[in-house]
Amino acid sequence: MSEQSKVKPLPTGARIGLALAGLIGLLLGLYFVIGGGMLIARGGSVYYLLLGLALSATGIQLARRRSSACAIYLVLLIATAVWAVWESGFDFWPLNARIFIFSMIGMLLAPVYPALRAHEGRTPARGAAWTVALVLLACNAAFVWGMFVPHGKFGTETAPPVASNAGTGDWTAYGHSAGGDRFAGYTQITRDNVKNLQVAWTYHTGDVPLSPDGGGSEDQETPLQVGKTLFLCSPHNTVIAVDAATGTEKWRHAFPTKTTVWVRCRGLAYFDSTQPLVQPSVAGSTPVTPLAASGDPTACRKRIYMNTIDAKLVALDAETGKLCDDFGTHGIVDLKAGLGNAKSPLYQLTSPPTVAGTTVVVGGRVADNVSLDMPGGVIRGFDVMTGKMKWAFDPGNPDDHAAPQTGKTFTRSTPNVWAPMTYDATSNIVYMPVGNAAIDLWGVKRTKLDENYGGSILALDATTGAEKWHFQTVHHDLWDYDVPMQPTLIDFPLDGKRVPALIVGTKMGQLFVLDRLTGKPLTQVVEHPVKPATIPNEPYAKTQPLSVGMPQIGAEVLKESDMWGATPIDQLMCRVTFRGLRYDGLFTAPDTDRSLSFPGSLGGMNWGGLSYDPNTDMIYANDMRLGLWVHLVKEKQHSGTSDGNEAVNAGMGAVPLGGTPYSVTKDRFFSPLGIPCQKPPFGSLTAISSKTRSVAWQVPLGTVQDTRLYGMQMHMPTPIGMPTIGGSMTTASGLVFFAATQDYYLRAFDSSTGKEVWKARLPVGSQGTPVSYVVNGKQYIVISAGGARQSPDRGDDVIAYALPDSK
């Protein structure tokens, strides 16, 4: 019988299917040939060009109904697997992005091979084809399984909790204690019984935040708890007191606002005038001044303070919710006094006040990149009882602590303190994270004092406002790398001793540990040489501080091989884009070309802060890993037209930098699918040992379950690790709670291993920090859930969880 007589014709449907598959393969191949050529032209990998040629050949041979298509594809697949391991090792997500789609295609293509061989009059080789298909099926099953388990560095052994009395007081300050530890020293809810947590009560504030572009209203609060009362502040500055055990409302006081941009309230402050004053114990400290006489000794003995978004400091009676008439003008202090032109939203307050002894200390948010002429970043201290200004620290005139004379203002456009502050009662010092002068991206006209204080930790005497020290975390900031979080006070183990210290995270992924009394680093900080750009007259810093004595979180220098995508298609596009950007690593200066800033101005770490377990010397940090590309555009000098909406960080076209020769365009470093271009995780929770100064574990935070791509919800609980914005809370029983992910969950992690041990579905996402307290012998975990960042789902829920009553 002749060879021709053995030919087995293919059905019409099969021929059409092969023709279509061949066309798709050819088109896909051409995409990779063109994109690969562009990548090679920019100095990138040759792999994608070779991949494109192989895919094109596969497509052509499929359309011709030749079995060689499968052979070519098998070579392609093996080469891809070898290349993927060579380039990214055995890191799951990079391997998945490089291999999975091709192995899925190979699995579907393998059964076609016998039919094509039979059509050619050759032996079908079914055994070989199905062996390949089954091997690829197993590989693909492993890839799918791996997509639903967290990949990170986990601890190997669960350590027993350490008993102590630390952290067992009420949650009376934004960070639990004045030192910002976010540590609840309670042990009723444990690693073993946390799975039994259930909703104890839910309260609705009636204030649903709306933020269609990310720059409107947001719920970002951390409540306070004092005794049997929980104090809340809604996004639009309504202060509410509820029963901490039942969620029943006790009182509310609204402060209506017409402001619609950057509206939020992150927290409140509390002062109890019936308690004895705590005087500092450190030698040479300035005493806390005695309480001023109150107009009515029976009213406002316990006070709640809030900074409104419209720049007013208000004092409320914690028991009734009424304004304290003896504070300021009938309970209100105008924080725009002495600032000159400071209309909202160019000057706002988003973080809570800080009670420091008998002084209420406030900073203020000055909108970024609007104009060179902006309100100053003065920090002020007010008497807790009268509201009278005790001192001012003007970064442009640091030796004069008085209010400006009539007709004068505090120095304009100076670095500001928008994030929460920390108070140390043992030394009567308040520690504050300092931002930048008015324009982040262009620093030609900054003063010597702007350069001195910008991007620093500043320590002031809480009684007098006199400077104790400052430490700079970034020189001549051109990236919006202001210090974004409340410093956390710790007793740092050093050479067999305990040194009073503070630790703070930065947007650059750095962790600085400083001596609280001197501001000197307790771990190694080096001055790292950096490259300048070419903006005329820009006094670029030649070096930048890097905290190499502590772990750097999510601050690695990106390489082309770090580019990622949900598919090889968008991964290639990210590689081409990356190669087309100027990038010199951390501190790549902006210019009139397109440069990449990683981490971008959102972080790294941000205002959520750190949590700290003093019993185990463990620090817990959450981060986001989002790059930002920046392009300065030369223009005629003009005044700013921005309204202070920081959604400019997400692409709004050219935004004028008022008073400078430039406007700026910038956007997140995303793939065409709206996914960060670098490999996961995009957000993580990291445990750092202050004893060993190393990472104990690091796990991804959050899934893509509630993420929307082009308006469509993903519904996939893939724990890839998404950007985070709030903070963590740790307990003495060995748990770390976190809620501010992009999916709608409150989670608990084992504090010694990083393993997720419990999660509860929230009605919407959260940007808040959990709190914990004990009332009537029962421990509660409370979270405010008003909507995750970048999510259209919004709510007004405050939810308390507790263990069920024993029967």
Chain segment 381-391, per-residue pLDDT in tens? 999 999 999 99
Average pLDDT over residues 343-359: 94
Arithmetic mean of pLDDT over the chain? 94
CA gap 83, 651 in Å, rounded: 35
CA gap 74, 422 in Å, rounded: 61
The answer to whether 555 and 599 are in contact (CB under 8 A) is: yes
Confidence of residue 644 (pLDDT cuts 50, 70, 90): low
Task: Provide the CB-side half-sphere exposure for 754 (13 A, CA).
Answer: 24
CA gap 629, 52 in Å, rounded: 28
Using the predicted structure, report yes or no on whether residue 3 has a pLDDT greater than 50: no
The answer to whether 611 and 727 are in contact (CB under 8 A) is: yes
CA gap 527, 550 in Å, rounded: 15
CA gap 680, 151 in Å, rounded: 9
Q: Which CATH superfamily is domain 158-263+685-807 in?
A: Quinoprotein alcohol dehydrogenase-like superfamily (2.140.10.10)
Structural Rg of the chain based on CA atoms: 29
Average pLDDT over residues 244-261: 95
Tell me what pLDDT residue 648 has.
47
Tell me what pLDDT residue 673 has.
87
Single-letter residue type at 267:
G
End-to-end CA distance of the chain: 86
Tell me what pLDDT residue 159 has.
85
Q: Which residue has 């350590």 as its token pair?
A: 159
Question: Which long-range CB contacts under 8 A does 161-165 form with residues at least 24 apart?
Answer: 161/187, 161/190, 161/615, 161/732, 161/733, 161/734, 162/615, 162/616, 162/732, 163/187, 163/615, 163/732, 164/614, 164/615, 164/732
Residue 86 makes CB contacts below 8 A (sequence gap 6+) with none
Task: Provide the CB-side half-sphere exposure for 320 (13 A, CA).
Answer: 9
The answer to whether 459 and 470 are in contact (CB under 8 A) is: yes
CA gap 749, 194 in Å, rounded: 10
Q: Which residue has 């935004």 as its token pair?
A: 655
Tell me what pLDDT residue 2 has.
42
Convert the pLDDT of each residue in 692-711 to its tens digit.
999 999 999 999 999 888 77
Convert the pLDDT of each residue in 603-630 to its tens digit.
899 999 999 999 999 999 999 999 999 9
The answer to whether 578 and 42 are in contact (CB under 8 A) is: no
Distances 587 to 146, 307, 519 between C-alpha atoms, Å: 35, 33, 23
Q: Looking at the chain, how many residues does it have?
A: 807
Confidence of residue 215 (pLDDT cuts 50, 70, 90): confident
Angle between helices 47-63 and 68-88 in degrees, nearest 10: 160
Tell me what pLDDT residue 91 has.
95
Single-letter residue type at 404:
P
Convert the pLDDT of each residue in 77-106 to its tens digit.
999 999 999 999 999 999 999 999 999 999
- Which range among 183-187, 315-319, 658-662 shows the weakest confidence by mean pLDDT? 658-662
CA gap 738, 802 in Å, rounded: 16
Percent of the chain surpassing pLDDT 90: 85
Convert the pLDDT of each residue in 170-188 to its tens digit.
999 999 999 999 999 999 9
Convert the pLDDT of each residue in 442-471 to its tens digit.
999 999 999 999 999 999 999 999 999 999
Q: What is the pTM of this model?
A: 0.96
Distances 174 to 166, 230, 729 between C-alpha atoms, Å: 17, 13, 12
CA gap 25, 385 in Å, rounded: 75
CA gap 95, 429 in Å, rounded: 50
Burial of 130 (0-12, 13-18, 19+ CB in 10 A): middle
Confidence of residue 270 (pLDDT cuts 50, 70, 90): very high
Q: Is 81 helix (H, G, I), strand (E, B) or coil?
A: helix
Nearest Cα neighbor of 685 from 669, 677, 694, 696 is 696
Average pLDDT over residues 338-349: 91
Convert the pLDDT of each residue in 390-442 to its tens digit.
999 999 999 999 999 999 999 999 999 999 999 999 999 999 999 999 899 99
Distances 578 to 39, 208, 463, 567, 624 between C-alpha atoms, Å: 10, 39, 51, 16, 19
Q: Is 578 helix (H, G, I), strand (E, B) or coil?
A: helix
Q: Is 234 helix (H, G, I), strand (E, B) or coil?
A: coil
Query: Which residues are known to be catalytic?
Result: 480
The answer to whether 428 and 280 are in contact (CB under 8 A) is: yes
Q: What are phi and psi of 696, to 5 degrees?
A: -85, -40
Torsion of CA 267, 268, 269, 271, to 10 degrees: -150
Average pLDDT over residues 549-576: 95
Distances 639 to 266, 340, 448, 634, 661 between C-alpha atoms, Å: 31, 17, 24, 14, 10
Q: Which residue has the higher pLDDT, 415 or 216?
A: 415
Using the predicted structure, report yes or no on whether residue 53 has a pLDDT greater than 50: yes
Tell me what pLDDT residue 795 has.
96
DSSP E strands in 19-64: the ranges are: none
Tell me the two tokens of residue 41: 């032209």
CA gap 761, 745 in Å, rounded: 5
Report DSSP state, residue 143.
H
Confidence of residue 295 (pLDDT cuts 50, 70, 90): low
Average pLDDT over residues 368-380: 94
DSSP string for residues in 457-505: EEEEETTT--EEEEEESSSS--S-----S--EEEEEEETTEEEEEEEEE
Structural domain spans, the chain: 4-146, 158-263+685-807
